[in-house]
Amino acid sequence: MAIKIEMLRCFAAVAHAGTLGAAARQLGRTPSAVSMTLKQLEEHLGEPLFETDRKNRLTALGVFVLEEADRELQHFDLTVRAMEGFASARKGHVRVAAVPSVAGSLLPQAISEFIARFPDVRVEVWDMASGDVISAVEQDQADIGIATGGESATMAHRSIHSAGLMSDAFGVICSSDHPLANPGGPLPWQSLLDHRLITNPLSAGMRSEESKALHANAQVRGHNVTSILAMVRAGLGYSILPEMTMQLPGASALVFRPLADPEARRHLHLMHKADRPLLPAVKELSRQIRRLSAPFQG
């Protein structure tokens, strides 16, 4: 008699639970059925898997079989999940968490083209700060995450796979009548010293010494892109944000001037859980996002 996957599942459940009764409840079977399945496996192998009838101590063979069974069961379950996902590719649910500038510019077009091909797939989008995006992916609250940081930010999150997606330059965003809006080339850090800076989490994370000194003396800080742009429009000051921010509603009347510092760039990464296969619908939306992000890759 060949060893079947359910034999391994039954044995692993008993080995981990420590009793037939607990394993039977977990498997939704009777203790006698579980006991019979174990007996069939032991008869096939020709050696006992447990040292006593209490099933709480494994033999040397039992330890070896449990290691192999756990590995095989994990692979089997992942394979089944992938097949089921493929079968339901056109009927599913894709959850995306992204930083606001991407959620308000790139994602609408990507989702529009995606649902034209997959009209029965539901898409859910959250815009949030990069740290929250990483947490949402790690806690399985989002299938795809788009955030800054990449490997350095996800080093402590071993369950996340992160790959470079796009890059855009930081620059000054100000009202059209602000002194920094005057036509000209990229702005050096020195030219910003005499004007009020509205800081934000993105600009505060820039590593240059000039940027740190500038932010250290700032009086106003915003945490939401919508409110930051509103303060800029009201003439409260200027802010330093990625160029993609200019594609958001409310930014059309503002002016963007890049910084002269070539290192002043934001790098966005596409993230997902590393320990599970992506469903086909998630893969397709990821491909669509990558295709549309191509002009911003740097």
Give, in order, the Cα–Cα distances in Å from 267 to each of 37, 152, 167, 168, 282.
54, 11, 4, 7, 22
Amino acid at 195: H
The pLDDT of residue 159 is 81
User: What values do phi and psi take at 295, rounded to 5?
Assistant: -65, -20
Task: Determine the distance from the C-alpha atom of residue 108 to the mean position of all C-alpha atoms in its chain, rounded to a whole number.
Answer: 18
**pTM (2 decimals)?**
0.64
Which CATH number characterizes residue 55's domain?
1.10.10.10
What mean pLDDT value characterizes the chain?
A: 89
Confidence grade of residue 131 (pLDDT, cut at 50, 70, 90): confident
31: alpha, beta or left, given left = phi > 0 and alpha = psi -120 to 50? alpha
Segment 200-238, tens digit of pLDDT: 988 888 888 999 999 998 899 998 888 999 999 999 999
> Looking at the structure, do residues 155 and 178 belong to the same domain, yes or no?
no
Which CATH number characterizes residue 278's domain?
3.40.190.10
Give, in order, the Cα–Cα distances in Å from 20 to each of 62, 110, 227.
15, 52, 60
Domain interval for residue 214: 169-263
The number of distinct structural domains making up the chain is 3
Listed residues 39, 64, 87: the one ending a domain: 87
> Looking at the structure, do residues 103 and 153 belong to the same domain, yes or no?
yes
> Looking at the structure, do residues 183 and 136 belong to the same domain, yes or no?
no
Give, in order, the Cα–Cα distances in Å from 189 to each of 74, 101, 211.
54, 23, 7
Cα angle value 274/266/183 (rounded, 5°): 160
For the chain, give the percent of residues with pLDDT over 70: 93
